[in-house]
Chain A
Amino acid sequence: GAGVSQTPSNKVTEKGKYVELRCDPISGHTALYWYRQSLGQGPEFLIYFQGTGAADDSGLPNDRFFAVRPEGSVSTLKIQRTERGDSAVYLCASSLTGFSGANVLTFGAGSRLTVL
């Protein structure tokens, strides 16, 4: 596609529920990143995919968070047993490759998650 697409744009859920957030990157981009952004803060790194594999998942806060990218394109961020502290905007970004420091990330509009 022309840009990075994220769905849903808004998700309201109850504490303890399961949530999936989807990211459709730019076609041909091999690198995909998930970030979390709280109000007034910069993006917080969660996980980085190079192709189908998670090259770095060190930013995932705990084992309730998991992400997949089975065919090297669309990615899904999964959050189990949601907590109020998970409320944030979840940003997805992609780049042509992850191996160049000069790479520019293209971001989606984000998925705003609110846990009541």
Chain B
Amino acid sequence: AQSVAQPEDQVNVAEGNPLTVKCTYSVSGNPYLFWYVQYPNRGLQFLLKYITGDNLVKGSYGFEAEFNKSQTSFHLKKPSALVSDSALYFCAVRENSNYQLIWGAGTKLIIKP
């Protein structure tokens, strides 16, 4: 069965420091991987996706994510965190061309000035 795990409910980072939000997945076919961000009282916004090709994917707002097939991970990273990055981050996966997105439970990112 397909699944997504975000092992940390919350991540705290000081402004200016690098940040990592972890995501691991389980699918039987080729994974299509996504990160979305949710700010308070707003809908989910697409950040980046991995479909094929280069394992390092760059997205919006300076975020990037690295696809690691052997570890079945797709961790979200940013070299230097901003207070405005504080939000809820969701990892999601599709298997092959299946339309269904399987979502993680989300990680709350708090960036302290």
Interface residues of A (CB under 8 A from B): 4, 31, 40-43, 45, 48, 55-56, 91, 93, 98-110
Contacts and interface: CB of A to CB of B under 8 A. Distances in A.
Contact of A100 (B97, B103, B104): B97
Contact of A107 (B44, B97, B105, B106): B44
Which 6 A-B residue pairings sit nearest by Cβ, starting from the closest? A42-B103, A107-B43, A101-B32, A101-B97, A107-B44, A98-B99
Contact of A104 (B34, B99, B106): B34
Interface in B75-113: 90, 92, 94-101, 103-106
A102 B43 contact: no
Given A48-B99, A100-B97, A105 B46 contact: yes
Contacts of B72: none
Contacts, number: 59
Interface residues of B, number: 26
B53 to A, nearest CB: 11
Main secondary structure on chain A at its contact with chain B? loop
Contacts of B4: 42
Interface string B13-25: 0000000000000
A26 to B, nearest CB: 12
A109 B24 CA distance: 27
A33 B23 CA distance: 24
18 contacts: A42-B90, A42-B103, A42-B104, A42-B105, A43-B90, A45-B101, A55-B99, A99-B97, A99-B99, A101-B98, A101-B99, A102-B32, A102-B51, A105-B44, A105-B101, A107-B36, A107-B44, A109-B43
Given A101-B32, A102-B32, A107 B45 contact: yes
Nearest to B6: A42
Contacts of B100: 45, 48, 56
Given A101-B99, A104-B49, 14 more contacts: A31-B99, A42-B105, A48-B99, A91-B44, A101-B94, A101-B95, A101-B96, A102-B32, A104-B34, A105-B44, A106-B46, A107-B43, A108-B43, A110-B43
B41 interface: yes
A91 B43 contact: yes
